[in-house]
A and B are shown apart, each in its own frame.
Chain A
């Protein structure tokens, strides 16, 4: 099991925002993390990537917490943030080289994975440019390429579709599918429920920092007694219930 969250209580400072959250993302699975603005999706992600410390509960990746083995924990995660975050002083090539060095990847292998991605994203002729000067969509593609060239066991992608053109959305989903097929786990936070429904194996619905529902689409339909409902319908129904 790649990611296991157990009774997580956490937040900013002393005030808990997440209340006894528990869910898991298995190997070879894509889980959609869904909820209204302010539901706790980004806070959950920040706890998983180690930017926030749980007040109680545990987060394990491949069976280890951050405290038990920090290097192994961090090496296992690849992250695509909601807003592109770039180094102002590095060219695109240097961003990728830095990621290769930091994760201890084999340079040749990494560039073999990167080259077709960069071509698909039309970044292959911009390697010596500063990504800080790219458009938002192109910066997002840099983030995606940087994350997906690794061989992480858990991919966390936060609102990845924002700013991407339709072709890039399609390419990203293909990358997610490829990683899934290779046995990695993917936790994908998104408001684009149509994409989530088509590409995720199961869903975690958050509301006010609590787990509202967790399961496959069929399981959610049973829970809500809404056979044949789309994820969008189930989501709206759950929101009204709250």
Chain B
């Protein structure tokens, strides 16, 4: 079982690094850095405005920290075929799953520490707090998360109530304990976390001693977990077997009927339908536009709104480059008597329209949050820039997309 875990982990990490390298391409990293900077700035402004007797921050922080506890599901790396091939060894999977719990704790623990550090300025209503408060709260969060993982592990032994009832109760308990801790002393929350962890470990031990492993449910939970991860990756790259698929979307046909039929519009005819009907591209454009529009409400100045708007519009343009090569494997795209320049031109035309519409939505959101002449001018400039981006920056990548 140790060997099985090791080989599964190696294969899993290889698989994940392949997708992550495509997700975290250089453009996305730049966008993330800018976003992170914008969020930090917005947060620092928020903290400055809080003062140092804002006791309402205690329950707010406690809510954020406790609601973060369920993030990070147990990664068992079991597969559907295991319900057949590992069935005779179900009783010996305990050691394998313990390794899985240890592996699953790493990222959530890092997240909890980072969130605790981020909460530092507001821990005691904005007043100064010593470093040991932060240390104690960080340990508290780790203990609560450990308890959460213990409940997840125990629930796999035909004890679904540990997952469905006790995990939400843990979140509630963490909220109450952390609120009291922030208001009075974090050692209170630490003590509660120790008791909760002890209780969770006891429940886990009892479940494992009294019942067998529910292999079917364990595999289903893992499939659901990996499905969420692959759906995130699918926003950035093709995941085999999880191709967004194609939807007819007849209600969008009026948008397409505006393209005049003629040899000069063959590629535009094709690409526009690929954009509208494929799950990847239209879904991606809508998601990025909505995220950017929501972010406009965090931006406190017109220039921050404009910067974030430009970044998102550029990110959307880059994510649409693969559309230009969508039909690379269809032999007829290489056989038609059409110049490749038509494909590039068609992509530019289509993406220009998409970006300008996206910029318009982002601009309306920004203006509604910060209504001023300067914001309006900035957003008009954003729409103009959106129209220029495809031809100014991405032509060469589009040319190569079909190779």
A50 and B274 in contact (CB under 8 A), knowing A98-B269, A101-B261, A130-B248?
A: no
B337 touching A102, Cβ below 8 Å: yes
Residues 100-119 of A, flagged 1 when their CB comes within 8 A of B and 0 if not, give 11111001000000000000
Question: Which of A6-14, A68-76, A229-237 is near enough to bind chain B?
Answer: A68-76
A97 touching B331, Cβ below 8 Å: no
In chain A, positions 79-100 with a C-beta closer than 8 Å to chain B are: 79, 81, 85-91, 94, 97-100
A98 and B266 in contact (CB under 8 A), knowing A103-B336, A132-B246?
A: yes
CA distance A121 to B245 in the complex (A): 27
What chain B residues lie within 8 Å of A211 (beta carbons)?
A: none
What chain A residues lie within 8 Å of B270 (beta carbons)?
A: 87, 89-90, 98
What chain A residues lie within 8 Å of B336 (beta carbons)?
A: 74, 102-103
Query: Of B265, B274, B337, which one neighbours A103 at CB under 8 angstroms?
Result: B337
Closest to A88 in B: B246
What chain A residues lie within 8 Å of B265 (beta carbons)?
A: 101
Residues 246-284 of B, flagged 1 when their CB comes within 8 A of A and 0 if not, give 101000000000000111011001100110111000000
In chain B, positions 86-135 with a C-beta closer than 8 Å to chain A are: none
Total contacting residues, chain B, CB less than 8 A: 23
Most buried by B among A87, A91, A104: A87
What chain A residues lie within 8 Å of B269 (beta carbons)?
A: 94, 97-98, 101
Residues 42-75 of B, flagged 1 when their CB comes within 8 A of A and 0 if not, give 0000000000000000000000000000000000
Asked if B85 lies at the interface with its beta carbon under 8 angstroms from chain A, I say: no
B263 touching A101, Cβ below 8 Å: yes
Residues 40-54 of A, flagged 1 when their CB comes within 8 A of B and 0 if not, give 000000000111000
CA distance A55 to B313 in the complex (A): 45
What chain A residues lie within 8 Å of B261 (beta carbons)?
A: 97, 100-101, 107
A90 touching B263, Cβ below 8 Å: no
Asked if A30 lies at the interface with its beta carbon under 8 angstroms from chain B, I say: no
A90 touching B273, Cβ below 8 Å: yes
CA distance A62 to B263 in the complex (A): 22
Asked if B19 lies at the interface with its beta carbon under 8 angstroms from chain A, I say: no
A89 and B273 in contact (CB under 8 A), knowing A75-B337, A101-B262, A102-B266?
A: yes
Asked if B81 lies at the interface with its beta carbon under 8 angstroms from chain A, I say: no
Asked if A77 lies at the interface with its beta carbon under 8 angstroms from chain B, I say: yes
What chain B residues lie within 8 Å of A81 (beta carbons)?
A: 331
In chain A, positions 107-154 with a C-beta closer than 8 Å to chain B are: 107, 130, 132
Contacts A49-B335, A81-B331, A97-B269 aside, 16 further interface pairs with beta carbons under 8 A come to A50-B334, A70-B337, A74-B337, A87-B330, A88-B246, A89-B276, A89-B277, A94-B269, A98-B266, A101-B261, A101-B262, A101-B263, A101-B265, A102-B338, A103-B336, A130-B248
- CB<8 Å pairs between A and B, sample of 13: A49-B335, A50-B334, A50-B335, A51-B331, A71-B337, A73-B337, A79-B332, A79-B335, A98-B270, A101-B269, A102-B263, A102-B336, A130-B246
7 shortest interchain CB distances as A-B pairs: A102-B336, A74-B337, A101-B266, A75-B337, A104-B263, A89-B277, A71-B337
